[in-house]
Structure 1
Amino acid sequence: MTTILLHGIGGPSWGDFSRIALDWPFPGFCGTAPLPAMTFPALTAALLDTMDAKGIAKATLVGHSMGGMVAQDFVAAHPGRVAKLVLYGTTPAFGGRDPSFAEAFLRARLGPLEGSTMRDAAAAMLEGMFGPDAAPDAFARALEAMQAVPDDVYRDTLRCLTTFDRRADMARIGVPTVLIAGDRDQAAPLKTMQRMAETIPGARIIVIPEAGHLIHLEKPAAFRAALRDALES
């Protein structure tokens, strides 16, 4: 069974994990052509096109952060093409229901880019993403990935992120689902992921202690064990 890795808004930073799975960058990332409009339906359609082109009838989707949102969107639209979901550092919807929350979020995240570039602004964007005991190279690897994201692609992807809401579909997910959560994740809080695990039929959750939002970089050994557990169960 093919496993497809779906990265977050900071770009792919899978390292060795990409040796055992298909690393699918969002259109516009890693030198690929951007979408005419960055939306979740367009991302889902692009992923479906990739699977069709590669002859992948059904896949396990491993989605981190916004990649987890793409995975949720994809399984809602094409349930027959998904064998299993592994969702980590993700949520069933973006932030609060009040539009002012999204506006404030965009101002805070796009502010560092005003008069600057991703290469210069990426470090500030990573603040608060890590737990207290991250691997020594975690920040450098995350920074390298984020600095490689084109400025306009980052802006468009961030705006797309604020439109996501699949809360109504959680109880309808019909494939085996495992969630992996960091107990220090501020972007995808543990309580939110626990509620997801309670809502998705048959889902279970694996909690990584002392991990923030970038679990695979912060706690690579613990994440590798959790991912193996999720894929083999």
Structure 2
Amino acid sequence: MPVPHPTAPVGLLRPVRREVQASGGTTAYWEYGPVDAEHTLVAVHGFRGEHHGLEPVVAMLPEVRVISPDLPGFGETAPLPGRTHDLAAYAEWLSDFVAAVAPGAVILGHSFGSIVSAAAVAQGLATPRLIVVNPIGAPALQGPRGVMTRLAIFYYWAGARLPERVGTAVLRNALVVRVMSITMAKTSDRQLRRFIHDQHDTYFARFADRDVLRDAFVTSVSHDITEYAADIAVPTLLIAAVRDDITPIEAERHLVTLFTDAELVEIPDVGHLIHYETPAPAAEAIRRFLGPSARDTR
């Protein structure tokens, strides 16, 4: 039985699962909220995750229609046929997906999804606004845990080089997933930590194969939003964590200055898991950014 979130009503969500063709493959996605909502968000999850990861934030925005796909190669979405899963492939996929399902939607990306979203918008994906949560605002090797990033690079390299059965088992190892989870969580709330660990235990190993995982990881540590910020003209909201181990808050404060029209919301006492640990402040920042017509109707 899933561990409940202590504050976000995730258990009350009743999304509708759908599928659509995008970039030559079949994308699984979930639709939340009223179909006639004034605002529609397309929510792009982070590395090794899937659509479930953003549900605590979605649960705090019941008045907003949210469309949340599993990225190609993760969750219930198969890899893109015949493609290397690099940033070009993911950005093209996102543009195709939005065009097919929700043209004109606001785009939201978390962590790795923030890079994909920023790249797609910079390259022409039409959206009225862009929201990035825990944005990757600096090269990963320059972050507070650069040594840990180097260890992660070795881990994914080894998983790709070992015999396939052994390498896949290493990449799906429950102990490694738990170490990742413990490292990222900042909260001292025991129930919330249980929820976070349960989420990672349940969903972090749901990648299609080690090749997709390697490609996505290399992409995640080879790019950051600073490459695309100057080419993004739409209003942009950055929701950043003061204790983020991947992008230090100083880098986020610099990143916001690179956009034509952007604002930064800083959330204290949280790290790279804003979507799990502080969904209410994140949702409120999103609601305010969408405008006065977005009101909490709970």
- Structure 2-normalised TM-score? 0.68
Change (3 A) 1:92 1:9: same
Provide the C-alpha distance between the structure 2 equivalents of 1:45 and 1:93, rounded to a whole number of angstroms. 22
Q: 2:94 aligns with which of 40, 47, 53?
A: 47
Verify: 1:85 aligned to 2:130, yes or no: yes
Change (3 A) 1:71 1:145: same
In the alignment, is the contact (CA less than 8 A) between 2:132 and 2:239 conserved in 1? yes
2:242 aligned residue = 183
**SS in structure 1 opposite 2:201?**
helix
2:273 aligned residue = 214
Verify: 1:122 aligned to 2:174, yes or no: no
Provide the C-alpha distance between the structure 1 equivalents of 2:185 and 2:43, rounded to a whole number of angstroms. 21
Provide the C-alpha distance between the structure 2 equivalents of 1:165 and 1:208, rounded to a whole number of angstroms. 20
**SS in structure 1 opposite 2:238?**
strand
Structure 1 stretch displaced more, 124-133 or 186-195: 124-133
Verify: 1:159 aligned to 2:218, yes or no: yes
Q: Flag structure 2 segments of 5+ consecutive residues without an equivalent.
A: 1-38, 160-165, 293-298
**SS in structure 2 opposite 1:82?**
coil
1:33 to partner: Cα distance? 1.7
CA offsets 1:163-209 (integer angstroms, 9 cap, x no match):
31452432232100111011111012211111111221231111111
1:197 aligned residue = 256
**SS in structure 1 opposite 2:128?**
strand
1:232 to partner: Cα distance? 2.8
In the alignment, is the contact (CA less than 8 A) between 1:118 and 1:151 conserved in 2? no
Name the aligned partner's letter for residue 54 of structure 2. W
1:76 to partner: Cα distance? 1.0
1:104 to partner: Cα distance? 5.3
Change (3 A) 1:211 1:111: farther
1:14 aligned residue = 54
Structure 1 stretch displaced more, 204-213 or 133-142: 133-142
Provide the C-alpha distance between the structure 2 equivalents of 1:205 and 1:15, rounded to a whole number of angstroms. 22
Matches within 5 A, 1:17-36: 17=58, 20-35=65-80, 36=83
**SS in structure 2 opposite 1:14?**
helix
Name the aligned partner's letter for residue 88 of structure 1. V
In the alignment, is the contact (CA less than 8 A) between 2:128 and 2:235 conserved in 1? yes
1:107 to partner: Cα distance? 0.7
Name the aligned partner's letter for residue 196 of structure 1. L
Q: Give the greater-gyration-radius structure (CA).
A: 2
Matches within 5 A, 1:127-166: 127-133=182-188, 135-136=192-193, 137-152=195-210, 153-166=212-225
In the alignment, is the contact (CA less than 8 A) between 1:216 and 1:224 conserved in 2? no
Name the aligned partner's letter for residue 234 of structure 2. V
Structure 1 stretch displaced more, 149-158 or 171-180: 149-158
Provide the C-alpha distance between the structure 2 equivalents of 1:43 and 1:117, rounded to a whole number of angstroms. 21
Q: Flag structure 1 segments of 5+ consecutive residues without an equivalent.
A: none
1:123 to partner: Cα distance? 1.4
Provide the C-alpha distance between the structure 2 equivalents of 1:222 and 1:210, rounded to a whole number of angstroms. 12
Provide the C-alpha distance between the structure 2 equivalents of 1:168 and 1:124, rounded to a whole number of angstroms. 31
Change (3 A) 1:59 1:26: same
- Structure 1-normalised TM-score? 0.85
Q: 1:2 aligns with which of 30, 33, 40?
A: 40
The alignment yields a C-alpha RMSD, in angstroms, of: 2.7
1:108 to partner: Cα distance? 4.5
Name the aligned partner's letter for residue 40 of structure 2. T
1:149 to partner: Cα distance? 2.7
